[in-house]
Amino acid sequence: MPSAAPGGTRMLILDEMQARGHESLKLLHHAPSGLRGVLAVHSRVLGPAIAGVRLREEDEELAVRGALALSESLTLKAALAGLNYGGGACVLLMPEAGVEDPHAREALFRALGRQVQHMNTRVVLTEDIGVTPADIAFVAQETPATLGMNTDTSSVTGYGVYRGMKAAAKHALGAESLRGVRVAILGVGAVGRTLAQHLSREGAKLTVADFRPDRAQALAEELGHVTVVPVGEIFDVPCDVFAPCGFGHSVQSADVPRLQCRLIAGGEHHPLTRRGEEAVKEAGIMYVPDFAINSAGLIAAATGVNMDQAGERVYQTVSRIMSVATQYGKPPHVVARKMAERRIDLIGSLVHV
C-alpha cells in the first residue's frame, strides 16, 4: 500500500482524508485467498456506511484514492435519496491468480466478509463494478451486513440514469422527451448498456464508445442505428447529452473544451474532478452529478422497491435539483451537493434532541 515515507504518498492520502472528512481507512489483506484491498468509511452520520465493493485490476494508490472518492459520493448519494445510511467504499485488487476458479472467488469474498465481520454495525457491503450478487452472497456467509443479493443493481441503476436524464433534459433542453436527442455514451458496461437500451427504445440518436471496442460494436449490432467511435473521439462528437458511464474520471479537465453538449448526465462515479466541474461550469454545460442520478440501484437494494419506483425517485430528485438550479441560477452539481449536505446536517442534529 502507499509508502509511509515522511511527506510521501501516505501523508498525501491522510491529507485527502482530512480534507474530504473521512472517518477511517482500513487495509484488507489475506494471503491464502489473495485478498488485497481497502475499505474507506466517509460518514456514518445518517446510519451505517453503505460500501459498494469493486473488484478491478489497478495499482494500490489508485485503489486507495478511488475508495476515498467513492465513499464520499456514497454519503451524498444516500443523503439525497432519503436513505438512512452513510457512505463507504471497498476496492479490491484483482488477485494475481485471478478468480476464474469458482472456489477461489468464493474464498476471496468470504475472506472479505471475515475481515469486516467486526464492523457489521458500522458498514454494509453491496455490489459495484466487477462484483455480482452471488459474490455478495459469499460475503453474507461471514457477516450479516450486506445488501443487494436479490437486486440486479446495474440494470436498475441504468434505468434510473435514463429517468434522471429525462428530468434534466426538461430544463437543459426544453423538453423531457429524448426522441431525436443526440446522446453520446462513454462506457457501455452493465449500466451504460442498459441506459442505451432505454434511450434507443425512445428514439434517441446514439453514439457510443468503450475501452473494449468489441463491447461497443456488439451493442450497436444489438440495437441498430448506433454509431460507434473510438474512446479518444467521443469528446468531439456533436451531441445534446454526454453520458459518462465508465470507471471514474473519464472526463479530464483538458477534455471539457472539446465537449459539444449542453448536458452531462451519466452513471459513472466521479466522471469529473473538482477542476473539471469548474471547467464545465465556465463552459456553460449543465452537469447532473453522479450521486444524484445513479442512485436507483442503491435505493432498490436498500428499500426493496422495484425498478419503476426507484427510477421515479431519481426522476423526482433530479427534477427538484434542476428546478432550484434554474430558479437561483446555480450549477446543478452545486445545488445537489448543498441539498445532500443540508439533509446530513439536519438529520445529524437529531442526536442532540
Rounded distance, CA 347 to CA 49, Å?
A: 15
Residue 189, marked binder: yes
- What is the arithmetic mean of pLDDT over 2-14? 56
pLDDT in tens, 195-207: 999 999 999 999 9
The CATH number assigned to the domain holding 249 equals: 3.40.50.720
Residues 328 and 196 in one domain: yes
- What is the pLDDT, as a whole number, of residue 170? 96
- Is the pLDDT assigned to residue 212 strictly greater than 60? yes
3-state secondary structure of 37: strand
DSSP designation for 94: P
In a domain, 105, yes or no: yes
pLDDT in tens, 106-124: 999 999 999 999 998 899 9
In a domain, 2, yes or no: no
Residues 63 and 193 in one domain: no
- Is the pLDDT assigned to residue 58 strictly greater than 90? no
Residues 325 and 303 in one domain: yes
82 close to 52: Cβ distance less than 8 angstroms? no
**168 or 132: which carries more pLDDT confidence?**
168
Looking at the structure of the chain, the number of domains it has is 2
Residues 279 and 241 in one domain: yes
Number of H helices, E strands in the chain: 12, 11
Residues 175 and 253 in one domain: yes
Residues 110 and 230 in one domain: no
Residue 190, marked binder: yes
- What is the arithmetic mean of pLDDT over 9-34? 87
- What is the pLDDT, as a whole number, of residue 5? 45
DSSP designation for 95: P
User: Could you tell me the residue range of the domain that residue 60 belongs to?
Assistant: 9-71+83-140
Residues 174 and 273 in one domain: yes
In a domain, 51, yes or no: yes
Rounded distance, CA 118 to CA 115, Å?
A: 8
Q: Where are the beta strands (DSSP E) in the chain?
A: 24-30, 35-43, 49-56, 86-93, 123-127, 182-186, 205-209, 226-228, 241-244, 263-264, 286-287
The CATH number assigned to the domain holding 112 equals: 3.40.50.10860
Residue 187, marked binder: yes
In a domain, 50, yes or no: yes
pLDDT in tens, 235-293: 999 999 999 999 888 999 999 999 999 999 999 998 998 899 999 999 999 999 999 99
- Is the pLDDT assigned to residue 320 strictly greater than 90? yes
- Of 98, 113, 140, the domain-final residue: 140
In a domain, 148, yes or no: no
Residues 193 and 120 in one domain: no
- What is the arithmetic mean of pLDDT over 47-68? 91
Residue 237, marked binder: no
Rounded distance, CA 86 to CA 301, Å?
A: 15
In a domain, 35, yes or no: yes
Residues 163 and 121 in one domain: no
Residues 49 and 136 in one domain: yes
Percent of the chain with pLDDT over 90: 82
- What is the pLDDT, as a whole number, of residue 79? 97
- What is the arithmetic mean of pLDDT over 127-151? 90
Residue 21, marked binder: no
In a domain, 4, yes or no: no
**Neighbour tally for 58: CB within 10 Å:** 14
Confidence of residue 10 (pLDDT cuts 50, 70, 90): low
Q: Report the Cα 104 to chain-centroid distance in Å.
A: 27
pLDDT in tens, 173-197: 999 999 999 999 999 999 999 999 9
The torsion angles phi and psi of 14, rounded to 5 degrees, stand at -65, -40
In a domain, 229, yes or no: yes
